[in-house]
């Protein structure tokens, strides 16, 4: 029964671009993978990573020589690395961070099929690569989850007590709650973020548009309220599900957040870090959260938008039209203009 439920949920939850926006080639002259649709750049690595569930996923790592942190970015539903690469470049440059993004199983040129459990294995593979290949410490990692990417982000964050920070961008309370107004967690639901957010011990920044017609603003609001270490949220007035990057406040707020958590990491981590290296190795083993997290009952949840599964996203009417951001809108349009339900 569980497998059947997961298969049905996957059909509702995942919309990988078809065909993928990029190809993957191996250059024997330099013994490296590259994406022909993306110009080659110094400091950009294209990787294939093996997951614990037997899939091979594609990841991109962007180095910034001035970086003091590394963002591990879990992207939204109807995009892949080829479409979001330019945004990664801008975030790495403007925020002065290293950045790794990856495609879920069944997305882009990653093998397998999309599923909730596969995305958990996918983000673990990306995180392990950061530690093993690039020598990144847990306390220097910022997990960034956009839309459906908030699922694997919070699953991993709930098991890493020394993370520097978490960013939740248009995040969901759970898969079922995107579609229906429910007041309890059901066993067949997917991405039970509402049950995991309370296990996250690092600072959490929530970003959400007030006119989001795909994932109602109340999702972000409640995730922020349930966070243990809240950071000032960013509610973008009139912002919808697909355009938050073009608001000037988006980049300003992110830059401030990255700076603040960077300055405060020393005291916070030194007070927590009492375990030995052996303890850290044991702690890094995957933990099955489903057996440890108790269902969280929603109280006084605002009305959620009921969106049919075959609906199409329309541009939201903005209350106040934002001034144009310094961040280019061209790449946003390219990877955001998708048909279908794209939480």
Grouping H, G, I as helix, E, B as strand and the rest as coil, residue 339 is coil
Could you say which DSSP state residue 146 is in? E
Of 317 and 120, the structure prediction assigns the larger pLDDT to 120
201-259 confidence digits (pLDDT tens): 999 999 999 999 999 999 999 999 999 999 999 999 999 998 999 999 999 999 999 99
pLDDT score, position 339: 34
Asked if 155 is an active-site residue, the reply is: no
Write down the pTM of the prediction: 0.80
Of 283 and 27, the structure prediction assigns the larger pLDDT to 27
Report whether pLDDT(328) > 50. no
Cis before 19 (ω within 30): yes
Question: Looking at 26-30, 122-126, 165-169, 299-303, which range is the least confident one?
Answer: 299-303
Asked if 241 is an active-site residue, the reply is: yes
Asked if 34 is an active-site residue, the reply is: no
Percentage above 70 pLDDT, the chain: 73
CA separation for the pair 206, 13 (Å, rounded) = 21
Residue 35: left (phi > 0), alpha (psi -120 to 50), or beta? beta
Short-list 214, 201, 142, CA closest to 175? 214
Short-list 97, 27, 26, CA closest to 61? 97
Report whether pLDDT(189) > 80. yes
Report whether pLDDT(5) > 80. no
Q: What is the mean pLDDT of the chain?
A: 81
Q: Which two tokens stand for residue 125?
A: 């593979």
117-140 confidence digits (pLDDT tens): 999 999 999 999 999 999 999 999
Alpha helices in 147-247 (DSSP H): 150-157, 175-179, 193-196, 217-226
pLDDT score, position 205: 98
Of 7 and 94, the structure prediction assigns the larger pLDDT to 94
CA separation for the pair 20, 17 (Å, rounded) = 5
> Which residue out of 212, 218, 227, 316 is catalytically annotated?
212
Kindly state the average pLDDT of the residues 86-112: 97
pLDDT score, position 11: 61
Contacts of 314-319 spanning 24+ positions with Cβ under 8 A:
314/213, 315/240, 316/209, 316/211, 316/212, 316/213, 316/238, 316/239, 316/240, 316/241, 317/211, 317/238, 318/211, 318/237, 318/238, 318/239, 318/240, 319/210, 319/211, 319/237, 319/238
Of 305 and 213, the structure prediction assigns the larger pLDDT to 213
Task: Quickly list DSSP for 121-142.
Answer: HHHHHHHHHHHHTT---GGGEE
Task: Quickly list DSSP for 7-28.
Answer: HHHHHHH----SS-S---EEET
> Which residue out of 110, 147, 170, 227 is catalytically annotated?
147
pLDDT score, position 268: 54
250-299 confidence digits (pLDDT tens): 999 999 999 999 987 654 544 444 443 434 443 434 433 333 333 332 33
pLDDT score, position 181: 83
Kindly state the average pLDDT of the residues 187-199: 94
CA separation for the pair 310, 140 (Å, rounded) = 41
> Which residue out of 241, 253, 296, 331 is catalytically annotated?
241
Cβ distance 89 to 62 under 8 Å? yes
pLDDT score, position 308: 31
Task: Quickly list DSSP for 156-180.
Answer: HHTT-TT-SEEEEES--S-HHHHHS
């Amino acid at each position: 029964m569980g497998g059947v439920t997961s298969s049905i949920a996957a059909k509702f939850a995942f919309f990988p671009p078809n065909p993928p926006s990029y190809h993957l080639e191996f250059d024997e002259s330099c013994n490296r993978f590259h994406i022909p649709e993306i110009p080659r750049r110094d400091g950009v690595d294209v990787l294939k990573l093996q997951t614990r569930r037997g899939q091979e996923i594609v990841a991109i790592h962007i180095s910034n020589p001035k970086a003091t942190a590394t963002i591990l970015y879990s992207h939204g539903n109807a995009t892949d690395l080829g479409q979001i690469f330019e945004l990664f470049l801008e975030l790495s440059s403007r925020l002065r961070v290293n950045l790794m993004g990856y495609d879920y199983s069944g997305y882009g040129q990653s093998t397998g099929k999309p599923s909730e459990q596969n995305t958990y294995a996918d983000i673990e593979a990306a995180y392990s690569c950061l530690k093993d290949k690039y020598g990144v410490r847990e306390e220097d990692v910022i997990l960034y989850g956009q839309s459906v990417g908030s699922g694997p982000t919070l699953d991993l964050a709930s098991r890493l007590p020394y993370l520097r920070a978490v960013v939740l961008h248009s995040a969901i309370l759970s898969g079922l709650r995107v579609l229906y107004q429910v007041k309890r967690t059901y066993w067949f639901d997917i991405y039970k973020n509402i049950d995991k957010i309370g296990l996250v011990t690092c600072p959490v920044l929530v970003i959400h548009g007030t006119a989001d017609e795909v994932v109602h603003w109340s999702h972000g609001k409640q995730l922020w309220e349930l966070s243990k270490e809240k950071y000032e949220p960013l509610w973008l007035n009139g912002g919808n599900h697909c355009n938050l990057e073009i608001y000037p406040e988006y980049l300003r707020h992110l830059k401030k957040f990255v700076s603040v958590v960077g300055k405060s990491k020393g005291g916070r981590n030194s007070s927590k870090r009492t375990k030995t290296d052996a303890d850290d190795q044991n702690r890094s083993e995957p933990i099955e959260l489903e057996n440890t997290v108790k269902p969280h009952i929603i109280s006084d949840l605002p009305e959620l938008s009921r969106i049919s599964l075959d609906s199409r996203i329309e541009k939201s009417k903005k209350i106040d039209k934002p001034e144009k951001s310094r961040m280019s809108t061209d790449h946003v349009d390219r990877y955001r203009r998708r048909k279908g339900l794209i939480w």
